[in-house]
Amino acid sequence: MIQLVIPVLAFLALTSASPAPLPAVTPSPTDNNPTQTYQRRGIISNVESDINSVLSSLGSNIPSYVADGVANFFQDFPSGSAVQSSLGLNDQQVAALPTNVLNLPPYGNWTDQGWNVRFHGNVYKQPNTSEAELNKLANVFLIGTSVEDLPPSQADQARNLTAEIFVVQQGNQSVSMHLEPAPSAGSSGQEGGGGAVTPSGGDQNVTLPYRTTGEGDFDAFVPIKNVTGGGVAAGNETNDIQRMNVYATGSEIGNATAYLVPPEGLTIVSDIDDILRITKIYEPKEGLLNSFARPYTPWLNMPDIYANWSRSIPNFHFHYLTTTPEQVTRNYMDFIYKTYPGGSFDTRPLNFSDVSATLSIRKYLLIKIFETFPQRKFILIADTSNSDVMTDYPEMATLFPNQLQCIFLRNTSSTDSGDRFPYNTKGFKDLNQERYMFFNVPDDLTNLDIVNGQCYNQSIRQNLTFGDQGLPFGINLGKGNKTSHDMSSRRWNGRDLPRFCFT
């Protein structure tokens, strides 16, 4: 959901931030009507009419920087004291609230010192915000509708998500966890399957070496002990992924499952939006409803594809890596674990919230997992609507040539005429076609022998020209069709473009 509206707002920001004229840009209507404004980090617009006018002004002439911009609609979630003051809470009221921990399901690697587990998440307090106030706040996230007009269950979800966003993060907190064997995937709420085993022991408490950041985040590798009685198998003596439950001390909702992943084997790093669930981030209004209000819905039969892989590939490690902001991760986890195999999770931490950090978080997290498992092979999967994916995924092939097994990218514009934003495939130019596949529907992924590196089904036409793709009316600006708005020059018709236009 994060990249939702991104291209559009990047576009708007560009129009309002740079007074000098750019081609084919319709000025914001709010320039003339300052009362109908909606403000986010200096971007002032009447969301509805601006988006419509931007979409219609794009017409057949979508500038490539629109798609390359990864500004973030959810960039400016308020946090900490901003929430406290916007809800009018004093320090005593905040102090009286229970402490919650968002405990993201960790992975652990095997080292000379034993298992090393990466605990990460956030410590916060959730104010008891009234329904009326939540309705008001939730309406900010909807376009062309309001919470009051949604069916009750959707209105409920929109309020829930809004309440999760309006939380007061707790800095300088000590974080402790209790670990014990996880009885089974099912009982830890992971109905989507997943082939890990339960160790026979390993109960222990650990305290993280650092306190939470000013934004309440924690992220640290901590060695866990081989406690008396043993129980957890050594990583050099098993190929199984072992599953431990992790309970954050002092929080009712700080439960997660940790995955102790042996040094060798296959790991899939999976994006979520528009690959595992229907988001339509390229259609802002739909994307917002699909993220805030409607029940999260799997994309076609993707769950069958993952279930088959989980059943048939021994010790396949599933890692979900989304750049959605941390505050809304619970909803993603709930959906994933009901629908897809259990696995570890990464999301966008709070300190990655300015624009350039938003652009860099996926690569940061990818490098972290590749470095943590230097002998494992990786399958990367996402869709073409994320410009960071389009550069970061192929870059992993360059940075970690021995670890990249396959890249699968769903071509969202091939199946969804609502996706009119172009994407750039130039990162794939030097990659062996056997290593990657652009595909249309989940069934395109059946019968591939990914364990042995068969990533490409020759019956799926690739249509690649290694340049801007997916322009309207089937126009592809291939390598041979460079225009004056060539993104690699970071200039548009002779002018420097703002940094956030690039990945």
**Residue 50 three-state SS:** helix
Q: Which residues of 34-47 are buried (b: 16+ CB within 10 A; e: fewer)?
A: eeeeeebeebbbbb
For position 314 contacting ligand NAG by CB under 6 A, the verdict is no
Amino acid at 99: T
Pairing relation of β-strands 317-325 and 266-270? parallel
Comparing CB distances to ligand NAG, the nearer of 91 and 237 is: 237
For position 111 contacting ligand NAG by CB under 6 A, the verdict is yes
**According to CB under 6 A, which one of 112, 132, 401, 417 is a site residue for ligand NAG?**
112
CB of 34 to ligand NAG, least distance (A): 34
Instruction: Output the 3-class SS for 142-204.
Output: CCCCCHHHCCHHHHHHHHHHHHHHCCEECCCCCCEEEEEECCCCHHHCCCCCCCCECCCCCCE
Question: Which residues from 481-500 bind ligand NAG, rule CB under 6 A?
Answer: 481
Tokens 């997660």, located at residue: 256
For position 307 contacting ligand NAG by CB under 6 A, the verdict is no
> What is the Cα Rg of the chain in Å?
23
Rounded CA separation 234/164 (Å): 38
With vertex at residue 472, the alpha carbon angle to CA 470 and CA 474, rounded to the nearest 5 degrees, is 65
For position 374 contacting ligand NAG by CB under 6 A, the verdict is yes
The values of phi and psi at residue 145, to 5°, are -155, 175
CB of 129 to ligand NAG, least distance (A): 8
CB 274 within 8 Å of CB 266: no
Comparing CB distances to ligand NAG, the nearer of 45 and 216 is: 216
**According to CB under 6 A, which one of 31, 149, 371, 430 is a site residue for ligand NAG?**
371
**According to CB under 6 A, which one of 92, 447, 458, 459 is a site residue for ligand NAG?**
447
**According to CB under 6 A, which one of 88, 237, 488, 494 is a site residue for ligand NAG?**
237
CB of 272 to ligand NAG, least distance (A): 17
Comparing CB distances to ligand NAG, the nearer of 99 and 308 is: 308
Could you count the other beta carbons within 10 Å of the beta carbon of residue 309?
Answer: 21
Burial class (CB in 10 A: 0-12, 13-18, 19+), 124: buried
For position 459 contacting ligand NAG by CB under 6 A, the verdict is no
Nearest to 167 by CA among 105, 86, 103, 104: 86
For position 230 contacting ligand NAG by CB under 6 A, the verdict is yes
For position 232 contacting ligand NAG by CB under 6 A, the verdict is yes
Residues binding ligand NAG: number (CB under 6 A): 64
Rounded CA separation 380/398 (Å): 14
CB of 236 to ligand NAG, least distance (A): 4
Comparing CB distances to ligand NAG, the nearer of 16 and 351 is: 351
For position 88 contacting ligand NAG by CB under 6 A, the verdict is no
Strand partners, 492: 495
Comparing CB distances to ligand NAG, the nearer of 42 and 480 is: 480
Nearest to 408 by CA among 446, 370, 372: 446
For position 109 contacting ligand NAG by CB under 6 A, the verdict is yes
CB of 372 to ligand NAG, least distance (A): 4
Q: Binding residues for ligand NAG, per CB under 6 A?
A: 109, 111-112, 114-116, 128, 130, 153, 156-157, 160, 172, 178, 203-205, 213, 217, 219, 221, 226, 230, 232-234, 236-237, 247, 249, 252-253, 255, 308-309, 312-313, 349, 351-352, 357, 371-372, 374, 411, 414, 438-440, 446-447, 449-451, 460-463, 465, 476-478, 480-481
